[in-house]
Amino acid sequence: MPRRSNPEILHRLTGLAARQKGDTLPAKGANGETSVGIIADFKSLSRPQRTAVWAGYLGWTLDAFDFFLLVFMLKAIAAAFGSDIKSVAAAITFTLAARPVGALVFGLVAERYGRRPVLVMVILAFSVLSALSGAAQSLGQLLLIRTVFGFAMGGEWGVGASLAMETIPPRVRGVVSGLIQSGYPSGYLLASLVYYLFFDAIGWRWMFVLGLAPALFVLYVRVHVEESPVFAARARQAGGSPLAPLGDIVRHWKLALYLVVLMAAFNFFSHGTQDLYPTFLQKQREYDTHLTGLIAMVMNVGAITGAMLFGPLSDRFGRRRTIAIASLLALPVLPLWAFAPGAVLLGAGAFLMQVSVQGAWAIVPAHLNELSPPAVRAMFPGFVYQLGNLVASGNAVWQAGFAERHGDDYAMALAVFAAVTAVVLAVWVLLGPERSGGELGDAIIGE
């Protein structure tokens, strides 16, 4: 297991390294906070740095948009195919299970040929496959399409996050990490809005066709986004087998195993509080399309708020401590989120729950990239992330089965899964390593 970093020593070492490189750390005010705000930090970035950040954020937004279209339509699809929600929820499981394969394959390609072309490739692929989901003539066909969709989706996060993190300076990494991760609830929010506005008029099949929209983002990436400077520098020394990066996973297997468990806990936390929440509102509370969509939008505004709040805080308090605090904030919110008597209180609970969930997730892009072996940063973070997703891929089916065994009590299923995973996540992250603030070209913490 990698050695843990003492935050105070790490801060001093980071400051020393910055001074040796002629860089400067943000000035501290009397209250210990940086005198330069988030907006000023972004203004200080060069144009290529800003476009790389927006590419990471928008890529993840559009990826999540296509993924979350399905979760609003489980009930409708089950009715169309004469099935039950548990069987249709298997599409979520298959999507999540295929993502590690995509992360590995596209990550290897990105290590060989660059981050930017692979980002274009995966966005085009998952956009087309989202549209094809609407053409499925049976549940079996839908499950197959969503599996291949998951393969394409698996390549986006690791490649997009590494492109951004390798481009920006360390001083804004926490802020940018929160922004990139807020793309996930932004995509969920966009899916909520589309569901609210169009589902009753066009039905579930045409809803999937709207998933073609992210393909337009490819033009932005192709025209404005530059290649990662870390990859560009390494490309001048290119050589060796395209499978050589796999050796880094073997050499750092303890770190990889720790991070897979960490990301499994993270994915149980997010998918366990998000994927079946619309079904809970529709089936148990019997809310209509508009009220379900409205609560989902409120929920995702909370998620974006959490991501933007806790990402910058992790620069001050450390990655692990901030993750633990954010995740444990879910516990006092549980009764309001799952058992509140009316829509207004449920909406407030949904907002606060996702402040906690995405507050914890806000740190993930920075934390995984900082711990990653430098030579495989396009592959390693995304691969361990998606392997964690694989472990948690049965979450929707397990929750639906739990609810059905307890008289369709989705509230209880949601609450039990959220409580357990919040505690497990907080404990496990505190047991692991941290390397905040260092240059991403440096060696990782020794094992």
Specify if 273 maps to a domain: yes
Specify if 97 maps to a domain: yes
Mean pLDDT score, 246-261: 86
State residue 437's pLDDT score.
62
Cα-based distances in Å from 114 to 169, 339, 356, 447: 20, 48, 34, 28
Question: Does position 358 have pLDDT exceeding 60, yes or no?
Answer: yes
State residue 438's pLDDT score.
59
- Could you give the number of structural domains in the chain? 1
Cα-based distances in Å from 320 to 7, 167, 284, 302, 387: 10, 23, 36, 21, 20
Mean pLDDT score, 423-428: 97
Mean pLDDT score, 331-346: 94
Q: What is the three-state SS of the chain?
A: CCCCCCHHHHHHHHHHHHHHCCCCCCCECCCCCECCCHHHHHHHCCHHHHHHHHHHHHHHHHHHHHHHCHHHCHHHHHHHCCCCHHHHCHHHHHHHHHHHHHHHHHHHHHHHHCHHHHHHHHHHHHHHHHHHHCCCCCHHHHHHHHHHHHHHHCCHHHHHHHHHHCCCCHHHHHHHHHHHHCHHHHHHHHHHHHHHHHHHHHHHHHHHHHHHHHHHHHHHHHHHCCCCHHHHHHHCCCCCCCCCCHHHHHHCHHHHHHHHHHHHHHHHHHHHHHCCHHHHHHHHCCCCHHHHHHHHHHHHHHHHHHHHHHHHHHHHHCHHHHHHHHHHCHHHHHHHHHHCCCHHHHHHHHHHHHHHHHHHHCCHHHHHHHHCCHHHCCCHHHHHHHHHHHHCCCHHHHHHHHHHHCCCCHHHHHHHHHHHHHHHHHHHHHCCCCCCCCCCCCCCCCC
Residue 244 pLDDT class (50, 70, 90 cuts): low
Question: Does position 32 have pLDDT exceeding 60, yes or no?
Answer: no
Q: Which residue has the higher pLDDT, 407 or 243?
A: 407
Residue 245 pLDDT class (50, 70, 90 cuts): low
- Domain holding 326, by residue range, is 47-234+241-430
Mean pLDDT score, 394-412: 88
Name the token pair of 326: 């954010």
Mean pLDDT score, 134-160: 91
Mean pLDDT score, 416-431: 96
Question: Does position 166 have pLDDT exceeding 50, yes or no?
Answer: yes
d(C-alpha 383, C-alpha 100), whole Å: 6
Mean pLDDT score, 54-72: 86
Q: Which residue has the higher pLDDT, 263 or 443?
A: 263
pLDDT digits (tens, 9 = 90+) for 171-225: 888 888 888 888 888 888 898 899 889 999 999 999 999 888 877 777 778 777 8
CB burial class (10 A; 0-12, 13-18, 19+) of residue 356? buried
92: CATH: 1.20.1250.20
State residue 301's pLDDT score.
93
Residue 374 pLDDT class (50, 70, 90 cuts): confident
State residue 243's pLDDT score.
63
Question: Does position 350 have pLDDT exceeding 80, yes or no?
Answer: yes
Residue 418 pLDDT class (50, 70, 90 cuts): very high
State residue 16's pLDDT score.
31
Give the lowest-confidence range in 251-265, 359-373, 431-445.
Answer: 431-445
Mean pLDDT, the chain, whole residue set: 83
Question: Does position 12 have pLDDT exceeding 80, yes or no?
Answer: no
d(C-alpha 413, C-alpha 39), whole Å: 41
Q: Report yes or no: 426 and 323 within 8 Å, Cβ to Cβ.
A: yes
Distance of alpha carbon 40 from the chain centroid: 26
* Phi, then psi, of 34 in degrees rounded to 5: -70, 140
Cα-based distances in Å from 129 to 147, 348, 395: 10, 35, 23
Question: Does position 34 have pLDDT exceeding 50, yes or no?
Answer: no
Which residues on adjacent β-strands are paired with residue 28?
Answer: 34
pTM of the predicted protein model? 0.75
Specify if 443 maps to a domain: no
Question: Does position 251 have pLDDT exceeding 50, yes or no?
Answer: yes
d(C-alpha 155, C-alpha 175), whole Å: 23
Specify if 323 maps to a domain: yes
Residue 14 pLDDT class (50, 70, 90 cuts): very low
Specify if 416 maps to a domain: yes
Q: Which residue has the higher pLDDT, 352 or 289?
A: 352
Question: Does position 35 have pLDDT exceeding 50, yes or no?
Answer: no
Give the lowest-confidence range in 66-75, 215-224, 259-268, 411-420.
Answer: 215-224
Specify if 408 maps to a domain: yes
pLDDT digits (tens, 9 = 90+) for 66-76: 888 888 898 89
Specify if 129 maps to a domain: yes
